[in-house]
Amino acid sequence: MKARLEEALQFHQSALNLQARRQEMLASNIANADTPNYKARDIDFRSALAAQLGRPGEGMALAQTSAGHLPTGGAQGFEGYVGYRQELQSSADGNTVNMDVERAAFAENALHYEASLTFINGLLSGMRTAITGGQ
């Protein structure tokens, strides 16, 4: 039972982790909309999620700020899935950020993130109902 709960949460945790990373990457693109020679990047979400699910137990890693900290495992494991966006309209300064695309992707990713949170909450409240017998 515990394994099943963990398994169910594992998927959403991985998805949430990746969505947070993607959000950060899209924020970088929007922040650098006026930086010359900046190339917009994005994550191949499907492949990255599949790869992360293929390695159970490797969730979000905690930052180790001291040598005495125990390793928490969990590589980020998506570096190989980051790519550069194909440019739709070229600009003279070599910047490939298309603000429409980035804003749309940012809003979409934010919604997906909220959806993942809702799923996790639903799962947890379902489990709580099972534990308390609906009382």
Partner 1 sequence: MSMFDVFNIAGSALNAQSLRLNTTASNLANADSVVGEDGQPYRAKQVVFEAVPVGKSEGRGVRVTQVVESAAPMRLVYDPANPAANGEGYVEMPNVNVVEEMVNMISASRSYQNNVEVMNTAKTLLQRTLTIGQ
Residue owning tokens 């969505």:
19
Per-residue interface string for the shown chain with partner 1, residues 42-71, x marking contact by CB under 8 A = ---------------------x--------
Among 33, 51, 77, 101, binds partner 1 (CB under 8 A): 33
**Site for partner 1 (CB under 8 A): which residue of 69, 107, 126, 130?**
107
Q: How far apart are CA 52 and CA 14, in angstroms?
A: 7
**Minimum distance between the CB of residue 34 and partner 1, rounded to whole angstroms?**
6
Counting Cα atoms < 13 Å in the Cβ hemisphere of 123 gives 16
Closer to partner 1 by Cβ: residue 56 or 80: 80
Which residue lies nearer to partner 1 by CB, 6 or 24? 24
With binding defined as CB under 8 A, does residue 120 bind partner 1? yes
The reply to whether 75 sits near partner 1 by the rule CB under 8 A is: no
21 is an interface residue for partner 1 by CB under 8 A: yes
DSSP assignment of 51-94 equals HHHTSTT--PPPP--STTSPP-------GGGEEEPPPSS--TT-
Give helix then strand counts, H and E, for the chain: 3, 2
Interface with partner 1, residue 35, by CB under 8 A: yes
Separation CA 47–CA 53 (nearest Å): 10
Rounded-to-integer distance, Cα 76 and Cα 51, Å? 11
Residue 9 CB, nearest approach to partner 1 (Å):
10
Residues 6+ apart with CB under 8 A from 71: 64
CB of 125 to partner 1, least distance (A): 8
Pick one of 110, 126, 129, 130: the residue that binds partner 1 (CB under 8 A).
110
